[in-house]
Amino acid sequence: MFNANDIRKDFPALSRLVDGRRNTYMDTAASAQKPLAVLNRIQKMYIEEYANVHRGSYWLSERATENYERARQTVAQFINAKDKREIIFTRNATEGINLVAATWGQYNLKAGDEVLLSRAEHHANLVTWQQWALKTGAILRYFDLAEDGSFIFENFKNALSERTKIVAVTAMSNVLGTLFPVKQISTEAHKVGAKVLIDACQFAVHKKIDVADFDCDFLAFSGHKVYGPTGIGVLYGKYDLLAEMSPYQFGGDMIEHVSYDKTTFALPPARFEAGTPAIVQAVGLGAALEYVMQYDFNDIEAYEKELINYTTDKLSNIPNLKIIGTASDKGGVFSFDIKGIHPQDLAFVLGKEGVAIRTGHFCAEPIVNLLGYNSLARASLGIYTTKEDVDEFINALNKAINFFK
């Protein structure tokens, strides 16, 4: 059964006191804490089962390869991909998006073609396509959200055209918390012949990913946000698309044959995993996803909905506090501003109370500026967040407000 209070016990960092206070971690949107199952699996891999993969004919290498490829199968299961060859291990979601832009984008975008993004995109998505649009002569187009952050489907549909070659959007805004209707986005985009790339970094923490149902062409997420290690990410791509794409980087393990004059390349996913990969990190990611999959996502979503409502009510009762992003369909992200208090000053005081939040523009400067701010504060939820955490957070906010009076 899903019980956040019990789950919290699985995360060692959360039991550590901060200046003698409870560690109230409200920054999962930036990076999630790691359960013992992941930490123990990483340690076991380094101590007992480590070697390079795909190269050795001895037990350690065979074992490491088995573990690495099992992790790929676990990712495929986690996102409901039909074939584990559709799973590419990257450093993070940023590298996955860059891979698509530098391979598919380089050869499929030309002057006058359009790339469609929302106004709420993370820099990993926005800057990547912005730069490749400059290189290829393609045109970057954006569609607007509602004032409260809600997704307006007509805005999206009206921005599509026969010139749209790819739609690259988040599944959940890391600033607003807005959930995007990715299945419907894919359906409409495919009607005009456009490909669809989904940034699922925030979504993967809170909602069930189903690439078969989404029918997206590409999807990326980072391991560190979904309770796994840093230095590992996932790019999903439909196999036929991946098989047509050129390599992203060159080196060992991504080749078929090499001579002094010519090289032929391996089939996906090896084609896109040049050099020694993040072996232990991939195995750690597999352990993280196995940990999450022991719970029913319906239970996770039901609990989170209750916690979102609870947090919203608490924040709404604080004078001069404005929640940024109040769409009815949103995930566990709360960006906010308190009149008269700079977010960085606020975070400093909260930190002394053992409460960890994020401040700044959250690598989404354009949307924060568009909303009229240079910096915001942000609290975010994970599967280990409890009502007690929310209460500690609210109490610390009230103390900070009184401090700055």
Taking the alpha carbons at both ends of the chain, their separation in whole angstroms is 44
- Chain-centroid distance, C-alpha 249: 23
| Tens of pLDDT, residues 32-81 | 999 999 999 999 999 999 999 998 999 999 999 999 999 999 999 999 99
Residue 293 has pLDDT above 80, yes or no: yes
Q: Could you say which of 3.40.50.720, 3.40.640.10, 3.90.1170.50, 1.10.8.60 is the CATH number of the domain covering 40-293? A: 3.40.640.10
Q: Which of 363, 365, 373, 375 is catalytic?
A: 363
Question: Chain-wide mean pLDDT for the chain?
Answer: 97
Q: Could you say which of 3.40.30.10, 3.90.1150.10, 3.20.20.140, 3.40.309.10 is the CATH number of the domain covering 4-26+295-403? A: 3.90.1150.10
- Chain-centroid distance, C-alpha 342: 27
| Tens of pLDDT, residues 321-371 | 999 999 999 999 999 999 999 999 999 999 999 999 999 999 999 999 999
| Tens of pLDDT, residues 223-253 | 999 999 999 999 999 999 999 999 999 999 9
| Structure confidence at residue 55 (pLDDT) | 87
pTM, two decimal places: 0.97
| Structure confidence at residue 226 (pLDDT) | 98
Residue 405 has pLDDT above 90, yes or no: no
Which DSSP string do the residues of 263-287 spell out, in sequence order?
A: EEEPPTTGGG--SS--HHHHHHHHH
Q: Over range 105-134, report the average pLDDT.
A: 98
Q: How confident is the model at residue 100 (pLDDT cuts 50, 70, 90)?
A: very high
The helix (H) or strand (E) run that includes residue 379 is strand 376-380
Which residue intervals of the chain bear CATH 3.40.640.10? 40-293
Report the C-alpha gap between 123 and 144 in whole angstroms. 17
| Tens of pLDDT, residues 17-29 | 998 999 999 999 9
Report the C-alpha gap between 324 and 369 in whole angstroms. 12
Q: How confident is the model at residue 117 (pLDDT cuts 50, 70, 90)?
A: very high
CB 302 within 8 A of CB 294: no
Q: Over range 270-282, report the average pLDDT.
A: 98
Residue 207 has pLDDT above 80, yes or no: yes
- Based on the residue annotation, tell me whether 363 is a catalytic residue of this protein: yes
Instruction: Report helix, strand or coil for 178.
Output: strand
Say which range, 54-58, 99-103, 154-158, 234-238, has the weakest mean pLDDT. 54-58
Which residue intervals of the chain bear CATH 3.90.1150.10? 4-26+295-403
| Structure confidence at residue 373 (pLDDT) | 98
